[in-house]
């Protein structure tokens, strides 16, 4: 097996920069979604225009490179299921951003790592040791501090939707792991848009309306920024491993807090600053443990030098 450091595309510093840029861009996407919602644009219409540009952009990219063969698939059913889960997850993710301060919605999204551990243990029956169970407990303590179901600092509906979005991210990550065994990452993104746009299009006669030019620019920004974020995420994994770049995802909390302050004049309450480090720390602990176990498994199967 070829060592990671000898991989022809292994450029860890570039991977970190790309993942940092992706976190910034995706925080910007949520800010655009929140702005669009505050301007009275329906969530289904925002999602439609978020997804639509992906199809011509990726199709044109592959056509120019003479690689339309990459879009061929024998796993249409798997792509359909991924699109169904993806639509629900996107609706919850965007919905949470419209109901909560951006920093809070982003932090509760990070609890997806906690749900991934729970799903692996309870559904896939994977062995889960004290490190990851401890991370789950720490993360949920952080979620409770942020959401404060006993108080009225945050709307409980928004917090519930944000946690639902995190659960969906964990479920989708399992699907993506399975699809990634046979499909190009951009192929997965392409079919997600291809299958979700007609579904969202069914709602358009009921939710779409005329918009001033600035609203159309905002919707266009949602689409282009969304594609850019997906490309940056995928490119980061081309030049580095998940374990090496995932730490940059948490920089999204900085950008979300900054956008919330500059664009919406909103900063989270005091409890957020106690709960957020617990959620982020839990995610980093889980990522570290997964990396450690992965390295141990790799060392166990690699042949020993003579």
- Domain for residue 35, yes or no? yes
Q: How many domains are contained in the chain? A: 1
Kindly report which listed range (17-31, 124-138, 156-170) carries the lowest average pLDDT score.
Answer: 124-138
* Residues 270/261, Cβ–Cβ less than 8 Å: no
- Domain for residue 306, yes or no? no
| Rounded CA separation 140/124 (Å) | 21
- Cβ count within 10 A of residue 259: 22
- Position 152 scores a pLDDT of 66
- Domain for residue 305, yes or no? no
Summary mean pLDDT of the chain: 82
- Domain for residue 252, yes or no? yes
Q: pLDDT for 150-175, tens place per residue?
A: 666 677 888 889 888 888 887 887 77
- Domain for residue 116, yes or no? yes
| Contacting residues for 61 by C-beta, under 8 A, at least 6 apart | 186
For residue 298, pLDDT over 70 is answered with no
- Domain for residue 112, yes or no? yes
| Contacting residues for 193 by C-beta, under 8 A, at least 6 apart | 51, 52, 54, 55, 58
* Residues 139/114, Cβ–Cβ less than 8 Å: yes
Domain range for 244? 4-300
Which two structure tokens, joined as six digits, stand for 99? Answer: 């109901």
- Position 299 scores a pLDDT of 67
């Amino acid at each position: 097996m070829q060592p990671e450091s000898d991989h022809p595309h292994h450029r860890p510093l570039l991977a970190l920069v790309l993942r940092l840029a992706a976190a910034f861009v995706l925080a910007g996407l949520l800010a655009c979604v929140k702005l669009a919602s505050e301007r009275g644009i329906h969530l289904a219409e925002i999602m439609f225009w978020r997804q639509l540009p992906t199809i011509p952009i990726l199709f044109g990219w592959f056509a120019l490179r003479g690689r339309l063969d990459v879009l061929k698939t024998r796993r249409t059913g798997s792509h359909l299921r991924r699109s169904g889960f993806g639509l629900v997850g996107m609706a919850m993710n965007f919905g949470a951003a419209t109901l909560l301060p951006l920093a809070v919605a982003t932090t509760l999204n990070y609890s997806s790592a906690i749900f991934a551990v729970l799903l692996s243990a309870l559904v896939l029956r994977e062995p889960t040791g004290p490190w990851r169970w401890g991370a789950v407990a720490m993360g949920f303590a952080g979620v409770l501090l942020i959401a404060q179901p006993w108080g009225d600092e945050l709307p409980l509906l928004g917090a519930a939707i944000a946690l639902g979005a995190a659960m969906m991210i964990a479920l989708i990550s399992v699907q993506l792991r399975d699809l990634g065994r046979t499909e190009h990452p951009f192929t997965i993104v392409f079919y997600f848009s291809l299958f979700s746009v007609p579904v969202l299009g069914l709602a358009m006669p009921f939710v779409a309306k005329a918009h001033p030019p600035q609203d159309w620019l905002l919707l266009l920004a949602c689409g282009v920024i969304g594609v850019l974020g997906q490309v940056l995420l995928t490119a980061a994994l081309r030049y580095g491993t998940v374990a090496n770049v995932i730490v940059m995802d948490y920089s999204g909390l900085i950008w979300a807090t900054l956008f919330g302050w500059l664009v919406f004049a909103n900063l989270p309450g005091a409890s957020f600053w106690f709960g957020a480090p617990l959620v982020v720390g839990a995610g980093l602990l889980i990522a570290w443990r997964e990396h450690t176990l992965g390295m141990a498994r790799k060392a166990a199967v690699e042949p020993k030098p003579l």
